[in-house]
Amino acid sequence: MNPRVKHVIPNSDYTITLLFDNGEERVFDMTPYLDKGVFKELRDKRLFNSVRPFLGSIKWHNGQDLCPDTLYLDSKIILSKQSEHKRILEKSQ
Which has the closest alpha carbon to 48: 26, 29, 23, 69? 29
Q: What is the pTM of this model?
A: 0.84
N- to C-terminal Cα separation, the chain: 31
What are the CA-CA distances from residue 52 to residues 21, 76, 80, 82 (Å)? 15, 19, 23, 22
Identify the structural domains of the chain with CATH numbers, from first to last: 5-92 (3.30.2020.10)
What pLDDT band is residue 87 in, cutting at 50, 70 and 90?
low
What is the overall mean pLDDT for the chain? 90
Q: Are 48 and 63 in contact (CB under 8 A)?
A: no
pLDDT of residue 16: 98
pLDDT tens readout for residues 5-19:
999 999 999 999 999
User: Does the pLDDT of residue 88 top 80, yes or no?
Assistant: no
